[in-house]
Chain A
Amino acid sequence: MTAAAALSCEGPRAFEEVPALLDQAETLLAGAGCATAARLQILLVIEEVVTNILRNAWPEGRGPGHVFTLAIRAAPDGGAVDVAIETEDDGVAFDPTAAAAVDTEASLEDRQIGGLGLHFMRVMTDRQIYARVAGRNRLRLERRCPAGGAEDGTPP
């Protein structure tokens, strides 16, 4: 039985720090036994959530004085892995679960460039919980992933 794994850290302060975070998260998720396809989707959701905070939370500038924490947990449970991603930041109040949906049926000419990150967050996780608590945004995302082989995503 693969053990539960967790990563709890300061959120990145610059876009250049995001790949290292994704590498850490990938190691954690692979170690917990997440199948490849689901693992990539969770990495993608982490990237979207973190870059969204970096881009929008602090219009005055994102200095080290700001609160931004991130926690990722992966708990194997039978043939699945329960993954939870939590972020907390003291930026501008923003509820990503309430953002307008993108029109994925639009034609190439009409298709808007933005909004996809939040669409991925909603589609690629099972549960999204947002709260504004004491001047902070708290977001929790949950996804139950199939367990699978390290390379091909098929069950072991």
Chain B
Amino acid sequence: MELTTETKGDVAVHRLSGRLDTATSAGAERGILGPLAAGQPRMILDMRDVAYVSSAGLRVVLLAAKQAKAAGGGIALFGLQPAVRDVFDISGFARILAIAPGEAEAEAMLPR
């Protein structure tokens, strides 16, 4: 898994690629929760190049969403591949997370 992080205004945009699984979730957790801990609670996850997410990866997304909300911000995802979207649907996460088709829509879903 690769993770690059950009900052757009006060939003951290994390672009992930590859598998978000047991082997890679610890690195993703550090990369995604780091800016949160540093006081940047609004973030976007670019999922376009993520081919696979397991429960270890979903755990990181849920942790980030909980912490972002508790800190007065939020998280939005975009570009989920169909098979990855299935996993979010089956987990019930699609109901509690902001999921958008594209980056601009994702940004619009973040709380002001």
Chain A residues with a Cβ under 8 A of chain B: 15-16, 18-19, 22, 36-37, 40-41, 43-44, 47-48, 51, 102-109, 111, 113-114, 116-117, 119-120, 123-124, 153
Known contacts: A19-B19, A113-B62. The answer to whether A104 contacts B54 by CB under 8 A is no
Question: What residues on B are CB-neighbors of A113 within 8 Å?
Answer: 59, 62-63
Tell me what chain B mostly uses at the interface: helix, strand, loop, or mixed: helix
Q: Is B3 at the interface (CB under 8 A from chain A)?
A: no
> Which residue on chain B has the smallest CB distance to residue A114?
B59
B55 interface residue (CB < 8 Å to A): yes
Q: Mark B59-99, 1 if CB is under 8 A from A, else 0.
A: 10011011001000000000000111011001110011100
Name 11 extra pairs, CB < 8 A, besides A41-B83, A109-B69. Answer: A16-B23, A36-B83, A40-B87, A47-B22, A47-B56, A48-B55, A106-B92, A107-B96, A113-B62, A116-B91, A124-B90
Total interface residues on B, CB under 8 Å, equals 27
B57 to chain A, nearest CB (A): 10
| Chain A residue at smallest Cβ distance from B63 | A113
User: Does B65 lie within 8 Å of A19, measured CB to CB?
Assistant: no
Q: Can you list 26 contacts pairing A with B, beta carbon distance less than 8 Å? A: A15-B23, A18-B21, A18-B22, A18-B23, A22-B21, A36-B83, A37-B83, A40-B83, A40-B84, A41-B83, A44-B52, A44-B55, A48-B54, A104-B91, A104-B92, A106-B96, A107-B96, A108-B66, A111-B62, A117-B54, A117-B55, A119-B91, A120-B90, A120-B91, A123-B90, A124-B90
Cross-chain contact A43 with B52 (CB below 8 angstroms): yes
Shortest beta-carbon distance from B108 to chain A in Å: 19
User: Within 8 Å of chain A (Cβ to Cβ): is B109?
Assistant: no
Q: In the complex, what residue of chain B is closest to A44 when comparing beta carbons?
A: B54
Judged by a CB distance under 8 angstroms, whether B11 is at the interface is: no
Q: Is the CB of A19 within 8 A of B21?
A: yes
B58 at the interface (CB under 8 A from A): yes
Cβ–Cβ < 8 Å partners of A104 in chain B: 90-92, 95
Alpha-carbon gap, A36 to B38, bound state (A): 39
Most chain B beta-carbon neighbours within 10 Å: one of A47, A105, A123: A47
Within the assembled complex, what's the spacing in Å between the Cα atoms of A122 and B80? 23
Chain B hits for A109, CB < 8 A: 66, 69
B64 to chain A, nearest CB (A): 11
Cα of A144 to Cα of B41 in the assembled complex, Å: 43
Q: How far is the CA of A107 from the CA of B63 in the complex (A)?
A: 13
CB-nearest residue of chain B to A124? B90
Whether A116 touches B59, Cβ cut-off 8 Å, given contacts A18-B22, A18-B23, A41-B86, is: yes
